[in-house]
């Protein structure tokens, strides 16, 4: 049998589109894996994708994660769409559920239908769901930046020594000062390290210092206030010249942070804070007062940084990607039956073959209806009360409160993280830098999460830490998507009470008037779907930049790899691996952006939920039983129908019938409207009886407040 693309169900065509996009992402991931396998490998097994200056690497890191999150959003959007089609019930599934007085969801994402659909569909749904978790946990950590930092030597020197380095060497040999040195230190290697620093000071720093960058005190303080130095290394504090020199060449030990800026008894005083910064270090043991330098000489330092990829993570992504692509293709054939994908599909099915178990519930909202229907209780006529409903009434109070409680809790957590991050940046003097426009592309790798708390953490635990927010956001995004789908379906349903509407169905049938509309989307139209898609992609990217994994490589004051940087600054890390450490970084700027985007999206959802449902109509909330209850009065082509009279009375004593014309269409092929369906003329006098409410292509009247309906 020749298969024609044009004959495919439009909703199922999107399965092929998404499968193709997923295949493109798979090809890109495979290409990256193949290319990276030929690149240099680091000691910890990562492949070096690029090596350049740290500013360029930071920009490429931000860009690469933007691309990763775009591809990830494509996969997750395709997966969510396919999951909804996978558990879209057929009419047989609905009939089986209704026979047990269980209802199913129609047209909205929900896990309620999973047990009701066939085993192949359940398997497809489960594979799509399970393959999403590894994507959230490892995709953003597959590519990471390696940032370099250095320890350095700080020295004080009279300006006169710069003009005559030889004199400084002689003074150094004769009488120099190791400021902050602990003369009683006994730990192994201290004497040797001290001698090595002194020799390096004599042989390298003194002869070359005059050619270093001349910084003002303000620029010096700003540069060396950073937790990690990436632009400068060793430092000379130049004091005004005195004759004879008051300040001999002095060495303020080997440091990695700004503790030398404070007027403390020891240069490694852990209580030192940049907010109390003062140049020079006093030493009460030697009766030395802090120097008052005129300017600084800073040694330029341009360490190369790397953009690296962790191949096992990319392999995991490729496996999940392949699973999703295969399932989408399989689902295209598995789900080609007559599933009730949209509200129109369900209405057409129930009009064709009414469900007798829901007869008489046409005037009931879904909540009171389910109470009676699930208990197998016969409905009584209901006195109509005018409905003044909003979109938010389309979901249960419990679901609405739980969803918004989780949304608000998430906002509160992010707000707390923003406050903590801003406080930490303010205390360390990085606040202005953290919120500068350049911080969007040049990441601040000095903002590290929990040095003490995360010391010695494994690679896996750090990956889980930085990517758990991605998983949590996806759960919240699913809830957001589900609520919006319910709201929009309620609006589509309510519109049937305002004017005749043609059905939007998956498979438009070829009628004589051919008035059915093809469904190009499940429930969320493009005017809502595109902003929702952009919100999801932007949020995933912002989260990936708010909390992220990076590698820091350490160099000593001479450029060699070192286990530790500074006496009390970094310490030994990463299980003793020399010269590097894996850390979890945060970005205050991206945290604030994530908060703003999230609050904006929730505000938009709130405004949407408060929109009024203009029609005076029952609510169904995607409930198959409530939809079926409104579809009990269809007219079929060629079927005899009694003449109709206004509601409230029926005439006895004679019978008159009319026939729907043979060239007319069935009700489900024509514009439908919900309202008061008029009673028929039968034999005898007029006798009062309740009216009916439901969907029909015939004449309908407005519902009347206070009138009884069945």
pLDDT reading at 189 higher than 80: no
pLDDT of residue 385: 87
Average pLDDT over residues 348-361: 91
Give the C-alpha separation, 198 to 166, whole Å.
15
Q: Is the pLDDT of residue 340 over 60?
A: yes
In sequence order, what DSSP letters do the residues of 195-231 get, joined into one string?
HHHHHHIIIIIHHHGGGSEEE-HHHHHHHHTSSSBSS
Identify the pLDDT of residue 241: 72
- Tokens 């595109």, residue? 530
From 391, 367, 363, select the one nearest 617 (Cα to Cα).
Answer: 363
Whether the Cβ atoms of residue 581 and residue 570 lie closer than 8 Å to each other: yes
Query: At which residue do the structure tokens 């769409």 appear?
Result: 81
pLDDT greater than 50 at residue 8: no
Angstrom distance (rounded) from CA 567 to CA 563: 11
**How crowded is residue 114: how many other Cβ atoms within 10 Å of its Cβ?**
15
| Lookup result for tokens 């040999």 | 173
Residue 571's pLDDT is: 40
> Does the pLDDT at position 289 exceed 60?
no
Q: Show me where the domains of the chain are located.
A: 1-142+310-339, 147-306, 407-503+514-546+587-612, 634-709
The neighbouring-strand residues paired with 518 are 505
How much of the chain exceeds pLDDT 90, in percent? 36
Give pLDDT, residue 661.
Answer: 43
What pLDDT band is residue 377 in, cutting at 50, 70 and 90?
A: confident
pLDDT, averaged across the chain: 79
Torsion, CA 645, CA 651, CA 654, CA 657, rounded to 10: 20
Peptide bond into 244 cis (omega under 30): yes
List b or e across 16-26, with b for residues whose CB sees 16 or more CB atoms inside 10 angstroms: eebbebbbebb
Given a cut of 70, whether residue 387 has pLDDT beyond it is yes
633 — pLDDT class (breaks 50, 70, 90): confident
Q: Phi first, then psi: what are they for 354, rounded to 5°?
A: -60, 150
Longest CA pairwise span in the chain (Å): 132
pLDDT of residue 562: 65
pLDDT of residue 18: 93
Q: State pLDDT tens for residues 675-702.
A: 888 655 444 444 445 578 899 888 888 8
How confident is residue 66, by pLDDT bands cut at 50, 70 and 90? very high
In 3D, which of 326, 543, 570 has the Cα closest to residue 414?
Answer: 543
**Strand, helix or coil at 589?**
helix
Question: What average pLDDT does this structure show over 403-428?
Answer: 90
Confidence at residue 153, expressed as pLDDT on a 0 to 100 scale? 82
The predicted structure's pLDDT at residue 462: 86
Planar angle of CA 292, 169, 158, nearest 5 degrees: 15
Is residue 413 within 8 A of residue 599, CB to CB? The reply is no
Please check the confidence at residue 228 and state whether its pLDDT lies above 90: no
Which residues lie closer than 8 Å to 488 by C-beta, 6 or more apart?
A: 523, 524, 525, 528
Angle between helices 91-99 and 343-352 (to 10 degrees): 70
């Amino acid at each position: 049998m020749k298969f024609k693309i044009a004959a495919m169900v439009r909703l199922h065509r999107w399965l092929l589109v998404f499968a193709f996009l997923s295949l493109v992402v798979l090809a890109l991931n495979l290409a990256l894996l193949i290319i990276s396998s030929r690149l240099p490998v680091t000691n910890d097994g990562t492949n070096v994708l690029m090596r350049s200056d740290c500013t360029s690497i930071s920009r490429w890191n931000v860009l690469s994660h933007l691309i990763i999150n775009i591809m990830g959003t494509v996969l997750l959007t395709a997966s969510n769409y396919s999951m909804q089609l996978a558990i879209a019930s057929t009419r047989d599934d609905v009939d089986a559920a209704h026979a047990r007085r269980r209802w199913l969801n129609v047209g909205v994402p929900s896990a309620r239908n999973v047990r009701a659909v066939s085993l192949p569909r359940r398997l497809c749904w489960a594979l799509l769901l399970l393959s999403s978790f590894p994507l959230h946990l490892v995709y953003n950590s597959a590519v990471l930046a390696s940032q370099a930092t250095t320890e350095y030597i700080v020295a004080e020197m009279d300006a006169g020594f710069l003009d005559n380095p030889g004199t400084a060497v002689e003074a150094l040999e004769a009488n120099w000062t190791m400021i902050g040195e602990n003369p009683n230190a006994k730990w192994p290697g201290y004497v040797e390290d001290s001698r090595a620093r002194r020799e390096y000071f004599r042989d390298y720093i003194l002869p070359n210092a005059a050619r270093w960058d001349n910084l003002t005190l303000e620029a010096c303080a700003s540069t060396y206030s950073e937790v990690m130095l990436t632009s400068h290394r060793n430092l000379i504090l130049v004091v005004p010249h005195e004759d004879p020199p008051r300040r001999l060449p002095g060495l303020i030990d080997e440091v990695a942070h700004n503790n030398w800026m404070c007027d403390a008894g020891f240069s490694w005083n852990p209580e030192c804070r940049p907010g109390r910064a003062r140049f020079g270090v006093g030493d009460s043991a030697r009766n030395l007062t802090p120097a008052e330098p005129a300017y600084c000489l800073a040694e330029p330092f341009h360490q190369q940084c790397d953009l690296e990829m962790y191949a096992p993570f990319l392999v995991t992504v490729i496996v999940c990607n392949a699973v999703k692509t295969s399932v989408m293709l399989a689902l295209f054939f598995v789900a080609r039956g007559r599933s009730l994908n949209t509200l129109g599909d369900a209405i057409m099915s129930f009009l064709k073959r009414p469900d007798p178990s829901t007869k008489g519930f046409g005037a009931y909202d879904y909540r009171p209806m389910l109470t009676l229907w699930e208990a197998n209780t016969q409905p009584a006529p209901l006195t109509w009360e005018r409905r003044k409903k909003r979109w938010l009434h389309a979901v249960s109070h419990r679901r609405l409160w739980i969803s918004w409680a989780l949304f608000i809790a998430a906002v509160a957590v992010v707000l707390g993280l923003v406050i903590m991050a801003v406080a930490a940046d303010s205390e360390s003097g990085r606040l202005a830098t953290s919120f500068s426009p350049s911080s969007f592309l040049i990441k601040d790798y000095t903002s590290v999460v929990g040095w003490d708390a995360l010391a010695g953490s494994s690679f896996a635990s750090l990956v889980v830490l930085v990517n758990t927010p991605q998983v949590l956001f996806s759960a919240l995004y699913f809830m957001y998507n589900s609520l919006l789908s319910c709201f929009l379906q309620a609006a589509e349903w309510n519109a049937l009470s305002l004017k005749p509407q043609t059905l939007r169905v998956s498979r438009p049938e070829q009628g004589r008037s051919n008035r059915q509309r093809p469904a190009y989307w499940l429930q969320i139209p493009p005017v809502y779907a595109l902003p929702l898609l952009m919100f999801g992609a932007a949020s995933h990217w912002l989260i990936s930049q708010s909390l992220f994994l990076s590698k820091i490589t350490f160099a000593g004051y001479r450029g060699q790899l070192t286990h530790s940087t500074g006496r009390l600054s970094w310490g030994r890390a990463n299980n003793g691996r020399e010269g590097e450490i894996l850390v979890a970084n945060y970005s205050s700027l991206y945290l604030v952006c994530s908060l703003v985007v999230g609050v904006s999206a929730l505000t938009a959802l709130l405004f949407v939920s408060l929109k009024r449902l203009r029609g005076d109509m029952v609510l169904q909330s995607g409930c198959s039983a409530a939809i079926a209850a409104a579809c009990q009065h269809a007219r079929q082509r060629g079927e005899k129908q009694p003449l109709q009279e206004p509601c409230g009375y029926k005439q006895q004593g004679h019978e008159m019938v009319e026939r729907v014309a043979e060239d007319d269409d069935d009700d489900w092929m024509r514009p439908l409207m919900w309202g008061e369906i008029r009673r028929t003329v039968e034999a005898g006098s007029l006798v009062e009886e309740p009216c009916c409410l439901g969907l029909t292509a015939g004449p309908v009247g407005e519902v009347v407040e206070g009138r009884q309906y069945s």
